[in-house]
Amino acid sequence: MKAPAPSDTLMEDIVGLCKRRGFIFQSSEIYGGYNGFYDYGPLGVELRNNIKQAWWRDFVQCRDDIEGLDSTIIMHPKIWKASGHVDGFSDPMVDCKESKLRYRADQLFFAPVSVDGETIGYVSVVECIDQQEVAEKAAAEMKRKMAKQGELDTIKLKEYTEAKPEQYELIPSPATGKPGSLTEPREFKLMFETKVGPLADDAATAYLRPETAQGIFANYKNIVDTGRVKIPFGIAQIGKAFRNEITPRNFIFRSREFEQMEIEYFISPSADWKTLHREWIDTCTDWLVSIGLPREGISEDIHPGDKLAFYSQATTDLMFQFPHGEQELWGIACRSDYDLKQHQEHSGKSMTIFDETAKEKYVPHVIEPSLGVDRTLLAVLSAAYTEDEVPNDKGKVEKRILLKFSPKIAPVKAAIFPLLKNKPELVEVAKRLHKKLQRRWNVFYDASGAIGRRYRRQDEIGTPFGITIDFDTIEKDSTVTLRDRDTCEQRRVTEDELIKFLEEQIDG
Ligand code: GAP
């Protein structure tokens, strides 16, 4: 797969393909949709499960130092008080009083427009790939409309969070283009609230978890007490998380209901956490490459001290080149002993562990690799989406759309085609092979239409292998034709060779 070039049309193409072929639908579409929520269709759910299974296999089942967990979505509200989320988990929000639209202040940018040093107004722009260009165009238009002579000074965009109070009135709303309607930023709480139990009073308030991590900290003691673990060790969890995002956008990149794959890796307070952090960054990068993301599309963003989350000692994000620009895919944070100490204090339960090797008792520190399932899926889709040209059945070159998924995560692993659907002897062999492969992998049987069209349908959903049963299969040597999705090359293989090949490619 390749690193996708940033482009709006690529995102549109992916969204269109996802709907057309049953990967992802807007939630509640029959009622006009529901912003920030998405449903996964037949192919989407397969792809999603394959990503989660690959992660679970590689980080839990194939490692002796990581245990799995599945905790509840709604937990005791005291957990969120202790973790700091009740008081601190918010984003700066700004309202446009006129349009009633809301923006995240750290995703809204502004700049003074000046001509030869004289400020003639302000421009604003919502975060996007070409925000500098958009702002410069708006500034040039302002100068033209005001018929100002002279040179425009360089536009230096700043976050709205950095605006001075006297500037709020001067910065135009991106919705109306006019100044005077933007409010000053205020903190907007991201946790969804609900009520538990029959009484709807304040004491019944509970939260939908905004991260799976706290379920791990809350169960840390239970897992230590099972006696299965010794320092260093990790606890891993996959599960839904909910955030009332102010501006959910870019398809499934930022949604209000999403899924996380998180590990809390507990280490000694005297361990060399910087080296361990580096090792985790490399392990996570290698894993993304193992599921088919191009290494050149992944980069690292080290959070500066003043931008660290309230619990973090150091954080490096693995960034991916998404269609809407380079954005966070996987956050790898050193959370020190912040969370366990908070829970120790609030619950009154000791969070210490006895380190058999060092012969000492302590509250461990933690390294946290935290990855979004939906974001990984979008990264995989973006890297896999390809348009090329190949000859059709009659030799005429045609445009084709294909998804170059790694066989490990492809939703459908192989498609089985009888060359002709009205030849029972071909159909019988194809159906038998389909039944046999179906017991091990998600394979698809398709007998309808010209063989070229059947191949194209599978290319578009990323099925890596096509298996055709033809007259040579039944009349000559029992071999089948194996077609490669990316190269369209075909070769004949026996059934044993086919199964060995699929095992290597899919499970290997
Ligand atoms: N426990 C730490 C934590 O939750 P985070 O950086 O807020 O850290 C971790 O989230 C990962 O979860 C992100 O890197 C991203 O992959 C995913 N994620 C966060 N918010 C998301 C959202 N609104 N929609 C989709 N994925 C999201």
Distance 37 CA to ligand 1 centre (A): 15
Residue ID of nearest Cα to ligand 1 atom 16: 372
Residue nearest to atom 9 of ligand 1 (CA): 370
How far does the centroid of ligand 1 lie from the alpha carbon of residue 211, in Å?
8
Give the model's pLDDT for residue 1: 65
CA-nearest residue for atom 21, ligand 1, is: 254
Burial classification of residue 179, based on how many CB atoms lie within 10 Å of its CB (0-12 exposed, 13-18 middle, 19 or more buried): middle
CA of 85 to the centre of ligand 1 (A): 14
pLDDT at 36: 97
Q: In the prediction, which pLDDT does 32 show?
A: 97
CA-nearest residue, atom 15 of ligand 1: 372
- Show pLDDT as tens, one digit a residue, over the chain (508 residues): 666 666 668 999 999 999 999 999 999 999 999 999 999 999 999 999 999 999 999 999 999 999 999 999 999 999 999 999 999 899 999 999 999 999 999 999 999 999 999 999 999 999 988 899 999 999 999 999 999 999 999 999 999 999 999 999 999 999 999 999 999 999 999 999 999 999 888 889 999 999 999 999 999 999 999 988 999 999 999 999 999 999 998 999 999 999 999 999 999 999 999 999 999 999 999 999 999 999 999 999 999 988 787 778 899 999 999 999 999 999 999 999 999 999 999 999 999 999 999 999 999 999 999 999 999 999 999 999 999 999 987 889 999 999 999 999 999 999 999 999 999 999 999 999 999 999 999 999 999 999 999 999 999 999 999 999 999 999 998 899 999 999 999 999 999 999 999 999 999 8
Give the Å distance between the CA of 371 and the centre of ligand 1. 7
Q: Whose CA is nearest to atom 23 of ligand 1?
A: 254
Residue nearest atom 12 in ligand 1 by C-alpha distance = 372
In order, the DSSP letters of 388-411 are EEEE-TTS-EEEEEEE---TTT-S
For ligand 1, the distance from its centroid to the CA atom of residue 264, given in whole angstroms, is 15
Establish how many alpha carbons lie within 13 A of residue 237's alpha carbon, considering only the half-sphere containing its beta carbon: 23
Around ligand 1, the residues with Cβ closer than 6 Å are 211, 213, 243, 245, 254-255, 258, 260, 262, 328-331, 368, 370-372, 374-375
Calculate how far, in angstroms, residue 472's C-alpha sits from the geometric centre of ligand 1.
Answer: 53
Q: Whose CA is nearest to atom 2 of ligand 1?
A: 370
| Tokens (6 digits) for 199 | 């009484």
Long-range Cβ contacts of 118-121 (<8 Å, 24+ apart): 120/146, 120/148, 121/146, 121/170, 121/172, 121/179
Which residue CA neighbors atom 22 of ligand 1 most closely? 254
Give the amino acid at 193: E
- Nearest Cα residue to 418 out of 405, 408, 428, 407: 428
Q: Is the dihedral of CA 276, 281, 286, 288 positive or negative?
A: positive
Nearest atom of ligand 1 to the alpha carbon of 245: 23
Picking from 501, 503, 505, 484, the residue whose alpha carbon sits closest to that of residue 493 is: 501
DSSP letter at 57 equals: I
Instruction: Record the tokens describing residue 196, joined without a space.
Output: 């538990």
Could you tell me which of 306, 280, 193 has the C-alpha nearest to residue 242? Answer: 193
Closest-lying ligand 1 atom to the alpha carbon of residue 376: 16
In the reported structure, the alpha carbon of residue 205 is separated from the centroid of ligand 1 by a whole-number distance in angstroms of: 24
Residue 4 has what pLDDT? 65
Mutate-to-test residue for ligand 1 from 328, 332, 336, 366, highest number of ligand atoms within 8 A of CB = 328
Q: How far apart are CA 191 and CA 256, in angstroms?
A: 10
Q: Tell me the H-state helices in 62-148.
A: 77-83, 85-88, 131-145
* pLDDT at residue 19 in the model: 98
Ligand 1, atom 17: closest residue by C-alpha: 372
Does this model's pTM top 0.85? My answer is: yes
Give me ligand 1 centre to Cα 377, in Å. 13
Cα(230) to ligand 1 centroid in Å equals 28
